Structure 1
Amino acid sequence: MSVPRSPKPRSGTLLGVSVGLVLGVSASFAVTVHAAKDQNGIPLEQIQTFSQVFGIVKSHYVDPTSDKKLMDGAINGMVSALDPHSAYLTPKELKEMQVFTNGKFGGLGIEVTGEHGVLKVISAIDGTPAAKAGIEPGDIIIKIDHKALQGIALQKTVDMMRGKPGTQVTLTILRPHQTQPLTLTLTRAIIKVQSVRSAMLAPGYGYIRISQFQENTGSATRKAVEHLEQEANGHLKGLILDLRNNPGGVLGAGVETADTFLNKGLIVYTKGRTDDSDMRFSAHGPDYLHGAPMIVLVNGGSASAAEIVTGALKDDHRALIMGQRTFGKGSVQTVIPLSNGGALKLTTALYYTPAGCSIQSEGIVPNIEVQPSNARLRALDADLLKESELHGVLKAPDECRKATPRYTIAPPASATVATPTAATESTAADEAIAASSTLKPNLVKDYPLREALAILQNQAVPVQEKGRSVTMVIPLPKAVGQ
């Protein structure tokens, strides 16, 4: 997630000084270190060790190695040791990231993370080659074009999946709870991500799906609400906002999206070590829904900016949150330009929901817990990678971690029978990207969406209570100021 502003590096920062020292010390191994740190707090002894390693590798490594490769590797190692989201971006990688946030890039449309040498899928972006091929959250990619990925850096694997539009790439995938690997051949495309789509689920009841948060997502969401209002003859009775498997994106877009549904109140605030890391974002109104009730659908793949929106609408009592606990990515990354044309993507703050809860490594607990409609889908959801499972993850003290769902929707009777056949089963991708091929979500296959609509229409739903299922109407929140 990128903060929509990049602070300029202060003059005389450690970055500018330390590079000069490294180059100076590396010229001679005979430098005597008289103090652990100089007056600016620079660790001279560690810098000398780095210089020695640099010189030994240059002299003795089996293949000649360029200074650039070694220095880039050293910077990468330094930054990646901090947490899973800080990274050094080369000029090429920075350009690719900027293209991604603008919503147009080449490739497959797949969000991945590297963990312990494993390439794991977070989500496939709606309507992209990856989504159309049926790639699911939790899938593990073990080969690209029949080349094993063990020991290959994350960015290199991403580069291997990208390429000229129209060319093909073959992925070998391990899917949880399946014994045989899957081999999928995808055709690369220019990914023009339409992050916001909408449809009418029933007369007067709208649906908006946000697949990720790009720079224009906030304005696109407002246009979608206005369009639904017109379809409803000027009066929407309710709205379902679908953020399932939304990996996040631009912080400002998440703030603007939350503001679309609020008249007032805090949306999110951040806290870090420096003054410019402490920010507060509040709603300005108006509420484009005019107080109509809302339900937000989330799951373990809802992360980052999606969690900002979810937390704001939950804590401000604007919407009911329904689904499963979210991913738990509650840190802010600032993109700081570097003199070589690249940038440092550095974790500079943690963000907090209006109630003061940090969701870092914890996620947001829904008001209403609802599981997918059959055993296989529930198992797949349980296998979704969580922030807390990432190597080197930041932990945040949180008084809100004891929160539990207020209601739990009982699974349908069909969920207790044997696993459905491939011909009748809705896959995890079906439920997560129900609107990928058309604007009309599939209420027959998408059980959580179907139950959300019933709640929005004030219909009774099956709720688990004291070990048994009872039918009840779940009350909807009223918008503040209505």
Structure 2
Amino acid sequence: AGLKASDQILKIDGELTKDMALMEAIKRLRGPKGTQVTLTIMRKGWSEPKEFSITRDVIPIASVKHERLPDNLGYIRIKSFQESTAQDLEKALRDLEGVPGGLRGLLLDLRNNPGGLLPQAIEVADKFVGDGLIVYTEGRRERKEYRAHAEGTRSQFPMVVLVNGGSASASEIVAGALQDHRRALLLGSPTFGKGSVQSIYGPLEDGSGLRLTVALYYTPKGRNIQAKGIVPDVRVEEDEWEYKPSGKRVVREKDLSRHIETNKEKKSPQDGEAGLAEEHMKDIQFLRGLELLKGLTLFQNAGAGRSP
């Protein structure tokens, strides 16, 4: 349709979105398959808005994609946590491992992943963490823990996880677990900060419902990410070279009104990276993550080569 992730929707079928509630905007965008909706779009670099006519359809989205990188390194991007995400991740890992020399290091991309199903996020983290807590929730009356299992754990290769302000909720749970267990190094910018558990009650007498926050998520070390997010081990800030959802500053949970409070040198892409897709060559966070992963792999190999 010609739309991009950084586009600002100014109007939906002629109605201004400036004072429109999020759910109202979503309701206006959705509709029967085959019908059309007209969007007035503003994009960075444009002098004036443009209109796009979009035909509604059911669009299947693959939540996991992967590719082999040079030197037996692998890249996996998880776009969201859907019903089959953990299963698709397992297939991707087996494909990356099924080459001579196996998988020597993994770059896991959780950027712009808005979250999704909690059980899938737990299964994903469980593939890389052998024991202990993955995450726990705590409300007024109850604490619920989710733990890792040793079976099927992949702990033999180093990992770097890419995160940014678009990484939220379930993706923050995975990132926080891998960071707390020191299973992976996180690189990028702070995550969104969506750490609340919500339940929907209804329908009420007037047909409406009530969305109520009943608990908060905590990482294995007891960090609550609500409105704070996960801070990466290596910060690579967004700039014009980065693959990012917006040309403007990323909006995080703490920037939203009524969010839940808790108590508690510009660089250009590297040249000479043989075998990388063009999109990666323009992605500074990817390139820095790959650099870091290569260093971790060399360090691991050097340590394995030492005699006791």
Task: Give 1:307-318 correspondences, 5 Å limit.
Answer: 307-318=172-183
Match of 1:247 in 2: 114
Match of 1:134 in 2: 4
Shift of 1:285: 2.7
Within the candidate set 81, 84, 92, 1:224 is matched to 92
Do structure 1's residue 267 and structure 2's residue 134 form an aligned pair? Answer: yes
Do structure 1's residue 256 and structure 2's residue 123 form an aligned pair? Answer: yes
- Distance in 1 (CA, whole Å) between partners of 2:278 and 2:149 is 31
Match of 2:151 in 1: 286
For 1:310, the aligned partner's letter is A
Do structure 1's residue 454 and structure 2's residue 291 form an aligned pair? Answer: yes
Query: Aligned in 2, Cα 1:186/1:252: closer, same or farther, shift over 3 Å?
Result: same
Shift of 1:306: 0.6
Within the candidate set 372, 396, 400, 2:262 is matched to 396
For 1:330, the aligned partner's letter is G
Match of 2:30 in 1: 162
- 8 A Cα contact 2:241 2:284, kept in partner: no
Shift of 1:377: 7.3
> Which has the larger Rg?
1
Task: Give 1:54-453 correspondences, 5 Å limit.
Answer: 133-136=3-6, 139-175=7-43, 179-230=47-98, 232-233=99-100, 235-275=102-142, 278-336=143-201, 338=203, 344-372=210-238, 374=240, 380=246, 383-398=249-264, 411-413=266-268, 442-453=279-290
Shift of 1:147: 2.5
Identity of aligned residues (%): 41
TM-score computed with the length of structure 2 as normaliser: 0.84
For 1:197, the aligned partner's letter is K
For 2:133, the aligned partner's letter is L
Shift of 1:351: 0.8
- 8 A Cα contact 1:176 1:383, kept in partner: no
Shift of 1:293: 0.6
For 2:162, the aligned partner's letter is L
Shift of 1:396: 1.1
- 8 A Cα contact 1:361 1:388, kept in partner: yes
Query: Aligned in 2, Cα 1:253/1:345: closer, same or farther, shift over 3 Å?
Result: farther
The SS at the match of 2:83 is coil
- 8 A Cα contact 1:333 1:346, kept in partner: yes
Match of 2:306 in 1: none
More divergent stretch after superposition (246-255 vs 340-349)? 340-349
Mark the runs of 5 or more structure 1 residues left unpaired by the alignment: 1-128, 399-409, 416-439, 461-472
Mark the runs of 5 or more structure 2 residues left unpaired by the alignment: 271-276, 304-308
Shift of 1:350: 0.7
Shift of 1:284: 0.7
TM-score computed with the length of structure 1 as normaliser: 0.55
Query: Aligned in 2, Cα 1:389/1:322: closer, same or farther, shift over 3 Å?
Result: same
Query: Aligned in 2, Cα 1:474/1:328: closer, same or farther, shift over 3 Å?
Result: farther
Query: Aligned in 2, Cα 1:168/1:183: closer, same or farther, shift over 3 Å?
Result: same
- 8 A Cα contact 1:171 1:184, kept in partner: yes
- 8 A Cα contact 1:261 1:288, kept in partner: yes
